[in-house]
């Protein structure tokens, strides 16, 4: 740019953040709309001080943008750091098959990183989902109810069997199940479980007589893993998410069931 072009260029090109910011002062905005020549005519001997003032505000906006970017990036870097325990690179991680809670945890976290509109960790971040499920605070009976009656993808244990195992009545099992499922539905009104439910629905193939999660989907594989003692785990998160995803209108969720071809279909 030659000297003449520089004098005719509006200052907004030198201070783009200040120009785009909706909260920029009116007097600043007026100056930014002036050419360098017009600006010099207006401010004369105070031109350097005025330019320094504009630059200071531009730098403050740039710093704020950097801080915001770092804040948004930090959760992604944290997730990638946890995924790195599974594999040395993202391609291997993407192609991995969940075979235990360790690999399932990493693959779930990989699925929670969104790429559009910007790279970010989605609301169904595993730690947030597990934190919400922890609020169910189930005892041994409650864990058995959730894993064997509410959201298993295989054959359900009968209420009578659970009652006999825990030395209580069948009616007590039914009442505990009702309360736990009502609390789980209420927890799904929060963003983590609601986001997980919507995410799983989005991964399903929708066809008659109902949606299915294909056999090759990594979340289908996670849902089939055997539970460990600790509650909640990534397996609980996926199975609970599928159970919530099976809800239609105001009906009670029925859950998904493993099919002979390895896919999951609504019960």
Per cent of the chain over pLDDT 90 is 67
What's the pLDDT tens digit per position in 18-63?
Answer: 999 999 999 999 999 999 889 989 998 899 999 999 999 999 999 9
Residue 157 covered by a domain: yes
**What is the mean pLDDT of the segment spanning 148-156?**
96
- Name, in order, each residue with C-beta under 8 angstroms of 146's C-beta and a sequence gap of 6 or more: 136, 138, 180, 184, 231, 236, 240
Q: Are residues 257 and 161 in the same domain?
A: yes
Residue 78 covered by a domain: no
Residue 88 confidence (pLDDT) = 67
Q: Which of 41, 73, 105 is the last residue of a domain?
A: 73
Residue 15 covered by a domain: yes
**pLDDT higher than threshold 70 for residue 150:** yes
Residue 180 covered by a domain: yes
Both structure tokens of 57? 């505000």
Residue 165 covered by a domain: yes
The domain tally of the chain equals 2
At 71, the pLDDT band (50, 70, 90 cuts) reads: confident
Residue 188's domain spans which residues? 123-266
Residue 93 confidence (pLDDT) = 67
Residue 232 covered by a domain: yes
258 forms beta bridges with 264
Residue 249 covered by a domain: yes
Residue 88 covered by a domain: no
Q: Are residues 254 and 184 in the same domain?
A: yes
**pLDDT higher than threshold 90 for residue 7:** no
pTM, rounded to two decimals:
0.75
């Amino acid at each position: 740019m030659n000297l003449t072009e520089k004098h005719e260029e509006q200052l907004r090109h030198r201070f783009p953040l200040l120009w785009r910011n909706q909260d920029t002062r009116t007097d600043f905005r007026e100056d930014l709309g002036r050419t360098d020549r017009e600006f010099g005519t207006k401010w004369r001997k105070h031109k350097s001080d005025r330019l320094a003032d504009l630059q200071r505000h531009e730098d403050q906006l740039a710093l704020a943008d950097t801080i915001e970017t770092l804040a948004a990036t930090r959760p992604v870097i944290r997730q990638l750091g946890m995924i790195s325990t599974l594999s040395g690179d993202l391609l291997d991680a993407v192609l991995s098959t969940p075979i235990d809670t360790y690999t399932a945890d990493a693959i779930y976290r990989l699925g929670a990183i969104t790429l559009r509109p910007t790279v970010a960790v989605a609301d169904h971040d595993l730690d947030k989902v597990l934190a919400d499920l922890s609020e169910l605070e189930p005892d041994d009976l409650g864990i058995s109810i959730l894993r064997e009656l509410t959201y298993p993808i295989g054959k359900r244990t009968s209420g009578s069997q659970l009652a006999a195992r825990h030395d209580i009545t069948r009616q007590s099992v039914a009442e505990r199940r009702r309360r736990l499922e009502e609390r789980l539905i209420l927890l799904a009104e929060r963003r983590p479980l609601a986001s997980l439910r919507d995410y799983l629905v989005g991964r399903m193939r929708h066809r008659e007589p109902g949606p299915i999660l294909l056999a090759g989907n990594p979340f289908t594989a996670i849902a089939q893993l055997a539970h460990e003692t600790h509650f909640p785990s990534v397996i609980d998160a996926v199975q609970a998410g599928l159970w919530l995803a099976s809800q239609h209108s105001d009906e009670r969720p029925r859950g998904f069931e493993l099919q002979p071809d390895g896919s999951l279909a609504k019960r």
